[in-house]
Structures are given as C-alpha cells and as structure tokens.
Amino acid sequence: MKLIRILLMILPISLLLGIYLSFAQTAEELLPKAIQLEEVRGELEEAIEIYLTIVDDHSDNRQIAAKAQLHIGMCYEKLGKQAAQKAYQEVVDSYPEQTEVVKVANEKLSILLRAKEVIKKGEEQYKLSKIYSGLSYPSSMSPDGKKLALLKSD
C-alpha cells in the first residue's frame, strides 16, 4: 500500500519533469531565434532577454554564450545605451578563447571609445549643420559636402 502511494506521487512528478525538459531549449536553438528577433523583427529588448537566458543558463556552451554576449552589446548599441561598452568588455574578459568573437568585440569597443572622444571634443572642434531637406525630387551632396546637386525632371 505504501509502495503504491509512493509510485502515485512519483509518477506525476516525473511526468511534469518530462514535459518541462521537452520544452527546454538548447543554446543552439535559442541563438537563431534571438538573432531573428534582433535583425529581422527589430525587437531588441526581447532579443536581449533570450541572449541573457543563453548566457545565464547555457554558460557551459562557451562558443554560443560568447556570441550571445556579443549580440547583447550589439542590441544595446542599437538602442543607444551605455551598457553596450560593458557587454563588449564582458566578451573580452569572459571568453578570451573565442578569438573571432573577441576580435569583433574589440573592434566594437574601439569604435565606441573613438566615438566618445569625438563627442567630447565635438563641442570645441566640430559643428553640425542641417542642410535643406524638403526636396521632393532627387538630390545628392558632393563628396566634399560643399555642394548640393539637384536633379529636376520635367
């Protein structure tokens, strides 16, 4: 009688565990879904959540986790958030053996740092001017940015 009770308790638990494991996705399955959200749909916040899940739950798969961490930085960069630099630095610090991903992260870090320098010096050295943008026909700027070519069709 006691054995039957124990079995009746174990059976539902094992069924629930089996169902849960069948819905659990691998890092290899999650990464393409997150990339699609990021690059195709433009749903960056949702993509970041999936990338964070990969980094947190699948850290044993270092290759995929490094790519996910890189994409976190790319999403933050697209959103204009300062966290992009931290995410790229995390790739460099946490996944040094993933040379290709680290190379891309270092390039991104370099670009961000140069952009910060330009912004800091921009107040003293650079001036942005808006040119006329209300054109209803084709136009283009000259390579030096000093002339505007207007093409009007009759």
What is the reported pLDDT for 95?
94
**Spans of the chain, pLDDT less than 70:** 1, 3, 7-24, 119-146, 148-154
CA-based radius of gyration for the chain: 25
Helix axes 83-94 and 99-125, enclosed angle (nearest 10): 150
Please check whether residue 72 is in contact with residue 55, taking contact to mean a CB–CB distance below 8 angstroms.
yes
In the block, residue with structure tokens 């933050």: 76
What is the reported pLDDT for 74?
93
Instruction: Give the model confidence (pLDDT) of 43-87 as tens digits.
Output: 899 999 999 999 998 889 999 999 999 999 999 988 888 899 999
In the block, residue with structure tokens 């990021």: 38
Both structure tokens of 73? 């930085």
> What number of other Cβ atoms are within 10 A of residue 135's Cβ?
12
What is the reported pLDDT for 114?
84
What is the reported pLDDT for 12?
64
Sketch out the chain's domains with CATH numbers: 21-121 (1.25.40)
